[in-house]
Chains A and B, each alone.
Chain A
Amino acid sequence: MDYKSDFPMLNKEIVYFDNGATTLKPKSVIDAMNDYYCNYSSNSHRGEYKISLKASSEFENVREKVKKFINAKENDEIVFTSGATESLNMVVNGFFKNILKEDDEVLITKSEHASNILPWFELENEIGIKVKYIPLDEDYCVTMDNVKKSITEKTKVISLAHVTNVIGDIRPIKEITRYAHDRGIYVVVDGAQSVGHTMVDVTDLDIDFLGFSAHKMLGATGVGVLYGKYELLDKVKPSKYGGGMNISFSNPKEIEYKDLPFKLEAGTQNIAGVIGLGKAIDYINDIGLDNIEETCLELKQYLVNKLKQVKNIKIYNENVLGSTVAFNIDNVFSQDVAIYLDKYNICIRSGSHCAKKLEDEFGIKNTCRVSIYFYNTREDVDKLVDALKNDNILEESLGV
C-alpha cells in the first residue's frame, strides 16, 4: 500500500528508518490536533461552556479508545502521562518504592532502554533493592528457561520491554506473567516499541503495569499512557500534586483526592496530544495490527537479505523476529555511517540507542540501527543498501 498521501513527511524525499526513535505522523493525527487548537481550544474537565465540554469529551473518548486498544477492563485503568519514561518512573517511585524492601530483587535485562534501568538503579541506591539481569541467549533474546533460572525467593518484580529497541525481539510476556504470578512476582512491561506495532492485550498477557508513548505509534511527542490493573494502579502514589486531581483541601490534614484515573493526572494535560493519540489508534485499527506486523516482518527479511550483499557488514540480530536491524560496517564507526547516509537523505540511528548496558553483551558500544514501520517500502530498503554498497563510506562521511 502507498501511504504517501496520508503522511506529509513521506513526501520530503527522505528515507526514514528511525521509527524506533519516533514514528512519522499521518495527516489525520495532525489535523485532529489542529482542529482542537483552531476550533475548540479550552481546558478539559474545567469549564461549563460548550467548547470546554467538547474538549473534555474528546479527551475522555480517547481514554475509552486506549482501553479497547489494549483490552483493559476499565477506563479508570488508563492514565495519561508524558510518555513511557514518565509511566515507568511513576510505577517505580509511586508503587514499588512503597512496597519493596532492602535486598528484594528486580529482574531486568541488559538490553533494556535507559527508562527501564535508571529508575530501578536509583531505587537500589535509595532503598537497597537489588537489580539483577536475566541472561540473554546467543541471539540476545529472553528465554523462559533463563527467566526461571534467574528467579530467586527474593525476586519481587520482573520489568521488561515487550519489544526491545535495539534487537527488536519480542519477549514471551504471557508465559512470563503466568510463571511470575504463581510466585507472587509483579510484571512491569515497557510497551514503547510494541504498542501499535503488535497486539498488546493487557488482559490476555495479564500484565500488572504497562507504559507506552504515543509518538512511537503515529501520535504526538509528550503523550503516553500508564496502564495498571485497577487494584494496583489505585495504590500508586501520585508523583505530582495540583489542579485537576483534588476534590477539596483546607490544611495538610484535610485533603481529598479524586479517584483513578484523575488523581494521577495533576495539572492541565496535553489535550491536543491525547486527541491526536485517539486518531493514531483509529489509523492503526484501520490498517490492522496483523497487517502492520506482517508488513514490517516481511520488509525486515527483505532488508536482511539485501544487507547480506554488502561487503564487510556485521548484522547482530538477523535471526530475531522483529522490525529492527542492528549492524556495523567493518572499520567504520557507526556515527560515521549514519552521517554518510544522511548525505543521501537516509535517516538511521547510530550509537548505543539508550541501551547502554547492551555493550556488555555485544562487546561493542555502538551500532547502526534501522527500525522499520509499515509505511517503509522496498524502495526505501533498496536506496539504503545501494548507498551502503560503497567502499568509501568512511572517506565520504568526513564532509571535507
Chain B
Amino acid sequence: MNSDLKRTLILENYEKPFHKGLVKDESYINGSKKSSTCIDNFDIELKMEDGIIKDIRFDGEACAIATSSISISISKLIGKTKEEALNIIENYEKMINEDEYDKDLLEELIVYEDIHKQPSRRKCATLGILGIKELINRYDNDKKI
C-alpha cells in the first residue's frame, strides 16, 4: 500500500470514525482503555452472539493514530469469530512490535506497518485494539454474571 493511500485511510477514519458513539444497550459489555502516558482514552462496547462478534462501538478523545486505528479495527473485527478476531489482533500486535506476521490477514490494518519508526506512536496504534481484545477475552465471563 502506498503512502498516499495509507494517509487517506487514516485521515478518513480519524475524521469520520466508524461506529463512534455508544449505544448503552444491555446486550453489550463495556470497558474503558486509557493510555498511561498521554490522554488518549476510549470507552468501548462489544456484543457477541454464538461466538461471533456482532457489534463494537467506541467513544472518547484521542490522537489521529489512536482514533483511526480503533475505527479500522472495529470495521475489520465485526463479523469475525472470537478465534478469528484474536488471531487478527495477535498478528496486528506482532506487526507493531516488528515481529513476523501474516500480512494478508490484516488487510487495511497494515496502514500502521511503519508506525514502529515513531516509538511514541506504538501505544496510540494499539490502545483501541487491545481494549477490544480485553472485552473479547472477558465476554463469556461477564455474560454469565
Contact = CB atoms under 8 A, between A and B. Distances in A.
Residue in B6, B39, B115 with the greatest tally of chain A CB atoms within 10 Å: B39
Interface stretch (A167-175, A205-213, A375-383, A391-399): A391-399
Interface in B82-127: 111-112, 114-115, 117-118, 120-121, 124
A163 to B, nearest CB: 23
B1 to A, nearest CB: 9
Interface stretch (B24-32, B48-56, B62-70, B133-141): B62-70
A399 B38 contact: no
A350 B40 CA distance: 11
Nearest to B14: A394
B62 A398 contact: no
B115 A399 contact: yes
Contact of B114 (A335, A339, A351, A399): A399
Contacts of A350: 38
Contacts of A352: 39
B78 interface: no
A181 interface: no
Interface string B11-30: 10010000000000000000
B63 A336 contact: yes
Contact of A400 (B3, B39, B61, B62): B3
A397 B111 contact: no
B90 to A, nearest CB: 22
Given A395-B7, A400-B7, A366 B64 contact: no
A339 B38 contact: no
Interface residues of B, number: 24
B10 interface: yes
Contacts of B115: 399-400
A398 B64 contact: yes
A14 to B, nearest CB: 16
B129 to A, nearest CB: 17
A101 interface: no
A398 B14 CA distance: 11
Nearest to B68: A398
A333 B63 contact: yes
A386 to B, nearest CB: 22
A58 B114 CA distance: 51
A365 interface: yes
Contact of A397 (B38, B40, B64): B64
Nearest to B2: A400
Of B3, B14, B115, most buried by chain A (CB within 10 Å of CB) is B14
A398 B38 contact: no
Q: Choose among A333, A335, A366, A398 the residue with the greatest number of B CB atoms under 10 Å from its CB.
A: A398
B115 to A, nearest CB: 7
Interface of A: 332-333, 335-336, 339, 350-352, 365-366, 394-395, 397-400
6 residue pairs, one from A and one from B, having the closest CB atoms: A400-B6, A335-B63, A333-B63, A399-B118, A336-B64, A336-B63
Given A333-B61, A394-B11, 11 more contacts: A332-B64, A335-B38, A335-B40, A339-B121, A395-B7, A398-B7, A398-B11, A398-B64, A398-B65, A400-B10, A400-B112
6 contacts: A336-B63, A366-B39, A397-B64, A398-B10, A398-B64, A399-B115
